Structure 1
Amino acid sequence: MRLIASASVTSTPFNYTHRVETAGFELLSDEPPSSGGQNAGPAPYDYLLASLGACTAITLRMYAEKKGWHIGELQISLTLSKDQEGRAWIERSISTDALLDDTQWARLLEIADKSPVTRTLLKGANISTSRAAPENV
């Protein structure tokens, strides 16, 4: 098995605000005030959509470069909704300021569905949870 990414999350003294460390970056995650948070950073689902959108944009840019296509400034808009049974629905919309023909658009939409984060979300991921060994023993 090949490691793709890792992250650690540490609480702060501020209710739901947490420090996220990944790939040498420190981010904050929180909940909005309506959920009891301080709004000090994006909520976890915001990061999920940001991850999907960024992966889609990067994948499309790489594909376009290989094809020699100028795809201009990409914009990926995403929303996540849940139905009454709790099933999640993500809507992704892609636009660009470049003039692309229907064949190019069809191929870009196919490639978007093959981006790594898209595939992970569609296939699901096995998650195991364990108790870490105490640090101060």
Structure 2
Amino acid sequence: MSTARVWSDGPHYRHRIRTGEHDLIADEPVAAGGQDAGPAPYDYLLAGLGACTAITLRMYAEKKGWELGELRVELTLLKNREGDTRIERVLHSDAGLSDEQWQRLLEVAGKTPVTRTLQEGATIETRRGDDASAA
């Protein structure tokens, strides 16, 4: 189970995030009215998907005895005029992988836990908390 807590205490759109033992900051870019004090929410979404992809591929390669070298995952979130969202994910490795190895890595990337969650969707339940002292 993963958990996160987010506090909105300003300024503007800057928010504090606590997940596990890690403290993070989220904000919006200056062009969107923020101060660019940290990644925007979609940046965190892409970072989570990219990290899950890289971790999963590294684990898979280790089990297979494959050397991945430096693995890089580049992600871009795109929205069209109709509001449809698409994420482009491009994998890079400086190791000399065969076409067969690349094909398998691409298949595995399509099945990572975060990939599946995004593709399948998640039920989100929102309710009112008792009070602000829960922070």
TM-score, normalising length: structure 1: 0.95
Q: 1:38 maps to what in 2?
A: 35
The match for 1:19 is 16
The alpha-carbon deviation at position 13 of structure 1 amounts to 2.7
Q: Which residue of 2 aligns with 1:61?
A: 58
Q: Deviations over 1:9-62 (max 9, x none)?
A: 001231000000001100000000100001000000000000000000000000
Which residue number in structure 2 is paired with residue 81 of structure 1? 78
Which of 5, 9, 14 pairs up with 2:6?
9
Return 5+ residue gaps in structure 2 as ranges: none
User: Partners in 2 of 1:12 and 1:73 — Cα distance?
Assistant: 39
Q: Secondary structure at the match of 2:23?
A: strand
Please point out which of 104, 107, 114 is paired with 1:110: 107
- TM-score, normalised to structure 2, is 0.96
**Aligned equivalents of 1:102 and 1:78: distance in 2?**
22
Please, which of 117, 122, 127 is the counterpart of residue 119 of structure 2?
Answer: 122
- Which aligned segments of 4 or more residues in structure 1 are displaced greater than 4 angstroms? none
Unaligned runs of 5+ in 1: none
What CA distance in whole angstroms lies between the structure 2 residues aligned with 1:134 and 1:56? 37
CA RMSD of aligned residues (A): 0.8
